[in-house]
Amino acid sequence: MSVLLSPLTDADVQPLARLHRKAFPGFFLSTLGEPFLVQFYRGFLSDDDAVTVVAHDGSGAVQGAVVGTTQPAGFFGRLVRNRWPGFAAASVRAALTNPRAVPRLLRAVTYRGDTPEGADGALLSSICVDPGVRGTGLGRRLLAAWVAEVASRGTDKAFLTTDAVGNDAVNRFYQAAGWVLSDRFETREGRPMNRYTISVNGN
Q: Where are the domains of the chain?
A: 4-199
The per-residue pLDDT for range 61-116, each reduced to its tens digit, is: 999 999 999 988 766 566 656 554 555 555 545 544 554 554 554 455 444 455 55
> Domain 4-199 adopts which CATH fold?
Aminopeptidase (3.40.630)
Phi first, then psi: what are they for 58, rounded to 5°? Answer: -60, -25
How much is the pTM?
A: 0.82
The reported pLDDT for the residue numbered 37 is: 86
The reported pLDDT for the residue numbered 174 is: 96
- Terminal C-alpha separation, the chain: 32
Angle at 182 between CA 181 and CA 184, to 5 degrees: 85
Which ranges of the chain have pLDDT less than 50? 84, 92, 95-96, 99, 102, 105-106, 109-112
